Amino acid sequence: MTQEVNLPELDAARVEPLVRLAISEDIGPGDVTSLCVLPEDVQARGVYVVNDRGVVAGLPLVPVILGQVDPSVTFEPLVSEGARVAPGTQLAEISGSAVSILSAERISLNFLQRLSGVATLTAEFVAKVRGTSAKILDTRKTTPGWRCLEKYAVRAGGGTNHRMGLFDQVLIKDNHLELSGRQAVTDAVKNARGKCPPGMVVEVEAESIDQVAEALAAGADIIMLDNMPIARMTEAVAMIRSHPGDAPIIEASGNVSLETVGAIARTGVDWISVGCLTHSARALDISLVVTAVSA
């Protein structure tokens, strides 16, 4: 049985260069094995089958890949993007030139397996915090060049995207304060608000209760509780919640795992950022089963 979710579309402008690169590095001037072994006119049908339980992400990429390898190959999805699937589920069907299908096989599976793996791991984290108010967020710890895809896969798994890069949000960390001559947090936040675009979010990283107090006094929009033990995190959340006025968003970060994320969520934080969603996800086991089609 599958469960469907609504997803925003992939950004085609960002995806197509990645697809072209994948085709160039794998097919190059041509799939010599298929071209030498198979008759040019042989037709085939391929079915993508998942061999594991998980969440599907990346199906919209398959027709983009096929469109650049051979536009005459047809694609039909059999489940919705973001579906929760069981082993043996058929995900999609393609039909057309056997040479083209075999040429595109590994490229399409690389995208599907990687993105479905990210979505599946994200869904596992989301399940662990169910019943709390915490959201699971990704980080910038992504595969170079794949950030838009991997963050898309996080959404497919029910997670939420953090900032896309260094350009769309201020995040003041200890290294920034150190390299600015131990600048006070209040001054750092004030400088950021004076120089960054109006309305841009300003977040401050805090590793101690004293730093939480500084971030509160500075008026940070988000306070990141970094690598805090549960007891200290609980104390920090209570301090922030009791602060007069609009309380900032509270984010927890640092060495979050499936074993610890539930306890972190129960401290009352709003966000939990998890680097392993994108840097350590295991590829979902998906196969392309190909059969010849009679003329």
- pLDDT of amino acid 250: 98
- pLDDT of amino acid 5: 37
- pLDDT of amino acid 6: 44
Q: Tally the C-alpha atoms within 13 A of residue 173's C-alpha that lie toward its C-beta.
A: 7
- pLDDT of amino acid 40: 87
Q: Across the beta sheet with 90-97, what order do the strands follow?
A: 74-77, 90-97, 43-50, 286-293
H or E, element range at 50: strand 43-50
Structure-token pair, residue 259: 């074993």
Q: Where are the domains of the chain?
A: 12-126+281-293, 169-274
- pLDDT of amino acid 13: 78
pTM of the model as a whole: 0.94
DSSP state of 134: -
> Active-site residue among 31, 138, 150, 226?
226
> Active-site residue among 14, 45, 106, 190?
106
Domain spanning 169-274, CATH class: alpha beta
Distance CA 134, CA 225 (A): 14
Fold of 12-126+281-293: Aldehyde Oxidoreductase; domain 3 (3.90.1170)
- pLDDT of amino acid 152: 95
> Active-site residue among 45, 140, 141, 190?
141
Q: What is the mean pLDDT of each run of 10 residues along the chain (295 residues)?
A: 44 87 97 95 97 97 96 97 97 98 98 98 98 97 95 96 95 92 89 94 96 96 97 97 92 97 98 98 98 83
- pLDDT of amino acid 183: 81
Distance CA 95, CA 79 (A): 17
User: 198 by DSSP, 3-state: which?
Assistant: coil
192 contacts: CB under 8 Å, gap ≥ 6: 170, 172, 200, 202
To the query of whether residue 205 is one of the catalytic residues in this protein, the response is yes
H or E, element range at 170: strand 170-172
To the query of whether residue 106 is one of the catalytic residues in this protein, the response is yes
- pLDDT of amino acid 1: 25
To the query of whether residue 141 is one of the catalytic residues in this protein, the response is yes
Structure-token pair, residue 229: 């033990």
